[in-house]
Chains A and B, each alone.
Chain A
Amino acid sequence: SQTIHQWPATLVQPVGSPLSLECTVEGTSNPNLYWYRQAAGRGLQLLFYSVGIGQISSEVPQNLSASRPQDRQFILSSKKLLLSDSGFYLCAWSDGQGGHYGYTFGSGTRLTVV
């Protein structure tokens, strides 16, 4: 069966520090991968998605970047965190059919920038 792992679960970082959140998927190949963010009082905002190794689509201009160095690995990064980067970050995967069977989300990372 397929599983998705996301870590860390919580993170407190000072403003201006770097960020690296990692997500891996097991039990499937060539998944579509996604990073979403849930900010306080807001919905789930799509940040990045990837349909293959090295293929990254950015949905909103921001202080973050994403990379997919391996088929089942998706990394969210920042060189210098801002207070506005605080939120709940979720990684998700779907099959190559575009997710018509739904996404499977990871358990999320609560990021607090102080």
Chain B
Amino acid sequence: DQQVKQNSPSLSVQEGRISILNCDYTNSMFDYFLWYKKYPAEGPTFLISISSIKDKNEDGRFTVFLNKSAKHLSLHIVPSQPGDSAVYFCAASASGTYKYIFGTGTRLKVLA
């Protein structure tokens, strides 16, 4: 039972354009969401978070949008850069559970 889903395993975007990575979840108890970036043979690094009391959080080139009614979140990267090429994971947590459930990841390739 995959509670957090990233239905696009890969995405290619031209440098300078917008990258949009999507994530869906099924558990309505989830109230905090994270995005991580992972390079091969390295641990994931934290990118940006959003709590369920917000519908948008922005940090530089990265913006996360949350649609609670649709149980959907997305990560926008503008403008995309070749160094953004990596696997991106979304993760969700319910308060008090001490754990995050991760999606299967989307491999982003930014073409120069």
Contacts and interface: CB of A to CB of B under 8 A. Distances in A.
Q: How large is the interface on B (under 10, 10 to 19, 20 to 34, 35 or more residues)?
A: 20 to 34
Q: Is the interface of A mostly helix, strand, loop or mixed?
A: strand
A70 to B, nearest CB: 19
A99 B43 contact: no
A36 B102 contact: yes
A36 B43 CA distance: 10
A107 B43 contact: yes
Interface string A93-109: 01000111111111110
B43 A90 contact: yes
Interface stretch (B53-61, B64-72, B75-83, B91-99): B91-99
Contacts, number: 63
A42 B102 CA distance: 10
Nearest to A88: B41
A42 B98 contact: no
Contacts of A102: 34, 36, 46, 49
Interface of B: 6, 32, 34, 36, 41-46, 49, 51, 89, 91, 93, 95-105
Interface of A: 6, 32, 34, 36, 42-46, 49, 51, 57, 59, 88, 90, 92, 94, 98-108, 110
